[in-house]
Copies of this chain bind each other. A is one copy, B any other.
Amino acid sequence: MARKSSRSTSFDVAALAGVSQSAVSRAFTPGSRIADETRSKVLDAALKLNYVPNSIASSLTTKRTNIVALIIGNLDNPFYVHVLHTFSRKLQEQGRQVLIFTVEPNSESDEAIMHLLKYQVDGVVLTAAQLSTRMISLCHDRGIPIVLFNRYIPGSDASGVRCDNVAGGALIAEAFLAAGAKNFALITGDLKGTTSQDRVRGFVGRLLEGGIKRSEIVEVEGHSSYEGAFNATVKLFRDQNRTRPDALFGVNDIMAMAAIDALRHRLGLRVPEDLMVGGFDDIPEGRRLPYQLTTVRQPIEQMVDETLEILHLDDPTEPIPRGIDRPIKGRLIWRNTIPVPAAYRWDKDDSQS
């Protein structure tokens, strides 16, 4: 049997049910005017014929595809996998689906945008990738809302939702200071990304307030990968002629975990005894026994909810929201890679949720 064989249409169903094609259409359109009796006649016929409405065809008239594009640049980082999962779950609950566009981490996503425009998606979420402002207006002009997730483009009218990374970086710095650290180091991915940038800024800023003028900042080439951070850590501690850092901030959990592995298994140092480590994201892997990483939790659920709210998928007549910036506070999760100062002990949190 060749493909495209039997795909019954609303006309087939109409014929079998003894009604008009419009009736079939209405039977499958919630909130449309149709008698219960007619609807069930239609549904019966549809069942017999294995009819499923062709949403491609309906998109042509409604101008809604119920598809949301998700541009994702770093599936190696479980944090973004979690983000993807959360979007997919929440959108499915609304009867929408995620169309994935994978791009090289930190590369331009302009090409992805050109492709997704073809698919007439209802909205775009961009995570972990760069984007030119021209593309933003291309989307806006065509009435497609786009939200940057955990990044922003200063001075553009693109809307975005992000963790308050400056405040988050400061939380780690504060934890280090409270735990009595003296010499600070930081490992980050590409500083072109606003995410890393802000975390570094928040961290260094808080240190300055604490009277620390100097800290070692290592920018890993490429994106924020485990391997990059591992090698950077080894290098950092091998080349060291000056005093060894006693506090290391990995700008995300993956990098912090890589640093811990390098410290323990390559450099023979103990965490947190010889050196404390802080991370960022709170990925499930960091909660595991070998790590028990102290980190800043990004409230993914809330961030996704805010993103969907800005996208306004339910009401395409609304003007596209421009220039919205929703920084959401993260929360410090005390575990075992930073010694908990007595003053903080009450809110140590090791929960899984």
Query: Which A residues fall within an 8 A CB radius of B?
Result: 1-7, 50, 52-57, 59-60, 63, 65, 67, 75-76, 78, 81-82, 84-85, 88-89, 92, 97-102, 114-120, 138, 140-145, 226, 261-262, 264-266, 284-285, 288-290, 316-320
Q: Is B65's CB under 8 angstroms from A88's CB?
A: no
Q: Are B54 and A56 in contact (CB under 8 A)?
A: no
- Please state if A7 and B143 are interface contacts (CB–CB under 8 Å): yes
Given contacts A142-B7, A320-B3, contact A99 B101 (CB under 8 A): no
Residues of B within 8 A of A4 (CB): 63, 142-143, 316
4 new A-B contacts at CB < 8 Å, known A7-B142, A55-B118, A99-B100: A3-B145, A3-B318, A89-B102, A226-B284
- Judge whether B65 and A1 touch: CB under 8 Å: no
B7 adjacent to A52 (CB under 8 Å): no
Out of B88, B99, B266, which one reaches A289, CB within 8 Å?
A: B266
Find out whether the CB atom of A55 lies under 8 angstroms from the CB atom of B120: yes
Which 8 residue pairs spanning A and B have beta carbons closest together? A3-B143, A265-B289, A55-B118, A4-B143, A52-B117, A88-B102, A98-B100, A75-B85
Contacts of A284 in B (CB 8 A): 76, 226
Bound complex: CA A262 to CA B55 (Å) = 49
Chain B residues near A57 (CB-CB < 8 A): 60
Q: A261-B290, A266-B289 in contact; A120/B5 too (CB < 8 A)?
A: no
